[in-house]
Amino acid sequence: MKIVVAGTRGIPNVQGGVETHCEELYPRLVKLGCEITVVRRSCYVASNNKIKSYKGVKLKDIYAPRQKYIEALLHTFLAVLYAKKTKADILHIHAVGPALLTPFARLLGLKVVFTHHGHDYDREKWGKFAKLILKLGERTGCRFANGVIVISDMINNNVKRLYNCNDAHLIYNGVSAPNFINDTSYLDELGVEPGGYIFAMGRFVPEKNFHRLINSFSALNRHDCKLVLAGDADHEDDYSHFLKQQAKKNGIILTGFIKGEKLHALLTHARFFVLPSSHEGLPISLLEAMNYRLPILASDIPANLEVGLPAENYFKVGNEKELTIRLQEYINTSFQKINYQMDKYQWNKVAEQTMEIYKKIVLKSIVNPINLFL
């Protein structure tokens, strides 16, 4: 079974929730017997990452300008043409923006799976026209894809309500087995001690609310605990420059985008994890922190509430005063690891469920493109 994947910036070692999802999922689908090609955006392929395959997944680099308003749509259009040319059995499109090309792919005779990772039009970085396009992408993906996957109950409920999409497949994001790192040399490099820092990670975009976290932490004026923030911006803009300036001004430790042992070390030794976002789908960063048994402090948005933490683990989104109080409480509380129920968040299970969808779609008779919109 030949699968072409579009809608992601690429794998491996590319920042983003969709990118992490694809990096974990597709090598597992290769082991289940699929021939996978992930189409990467050339502008995100670093010189040391120009490889032809990753853990059995084929990689195809196709041009995309690093311009947030057009890169996803242009690249997905080219990826659709590539999928048609290579006679893919299924084109798997990720995210609501790229899903705008679903009808085009269907008209070319391709079978399409669409994974809905979240309501991207709620992100603060988009203007009115961009939000309209993203909503249209969501609608067309839900209406015209052969199979729709949603990663959370919240998204599932919304697509039912908005588009009468009652047959979407609910498949949660996952986590791998934790890799606890005893070596603290990376912590030494950052100037922090085990249990002596708060950890947060994500892209430097307004909806992650890292500026509020910095404000709330700085208001504590504590010198016995530091804030470590891992991540960076996909596109440098006024917000990312401002955030980095605020971090530097307030003594916040910025690691840049990290993965692998450095990230595992920070997750192993953090005092607790904070996710202050105003928008998420089902945050992999939150699941990873839970997987490393860290105490969690998260905003009370639906995606964070869905993981079912106790009420005391949440604070009102955007309320810096409450966040400051809660940070103080967490710092003053004796540190201890917490065992969370993670059974339903397993990448192997995600791969098996996705494989079943592929099989069902391929086994169905080919839809006549002329009747597609009837």
How many CB atoms within 10 Å of residue 316? 12
Q: For residue 275, what are its two tokens?
A: 């996710």
pLDDT in tens, 267-287: 999 999 999 999 998 999 999
d(CA 350, CA 355): 9
pLDDT in tens, 232-245: 998 888 999 999 99
Per-chain mean pLDDT for the chain: 93
Antiparallel, parallel or unpaired: β 226-230 and 169-170: unpaired
Looking at the predicted structure, is the pLDDT value of residue 324 above 90?
yes
Structure confidence at residue 144 (pLDDT): 97
Looking at the predicted structure, is the pLDDT value of residue 373 above 80?
no
Structural domains of the chain sorted by starting position, each given as residue range(s) with its CATH number in brackets: 2-174+346-371 (3.40.50.2000), 185-332 (3.40.50.2000)
Structure confidence at residue 368 (pLDDT): 45
d(CA 151, CA 116): 7
Structure confidence at residue 127 (pLDDT): 82
d(CA 296, CA 287): 10
Structure confidence at residue 68 (pLDDT): 77
Looking at the predicted structure, is the pLDDT value of residue 364 above 90?
no
Structure confidence at residue 120 (pLDDT): 78
CA atoms within 13 A on the CB side of 365: 3
pLDDT mean over 196-214: 96
Structure confidence at residue 290 (pLDDT): 97
Structure confidence at residue 66 (pLDDT): 85
Structure confidence at residue 164 (pLDDT): 94
Looking at the predicted structure, is the pLDDT value of residue 135 above 90?
yes
Cα-only R_g, the chain: 21
Nearest Cα to Cα of residue 81 among 39, 113, 42: 39
Antiparallel, parallel or unpaired: β 57-62 and 53-54: antiparallel
151: Cβ contacts below 8 Å, ≥ 6 apart? 21, 115, 116, 117, 118, 170, 171, 172, 173, 281, 282
Nearest Cα to Cα of residue 7 among 123, 101, 105, 140: 101
Among residues of the chain, what percentage have pLDDT more than 90?
Answer: 87
Looking at the predicted structure, is the pLDDT value of residue 342 above 90?
yes
130 or 82, greater pLDDT = 82
Structure confidence at residue 335 (pLDDT): 84
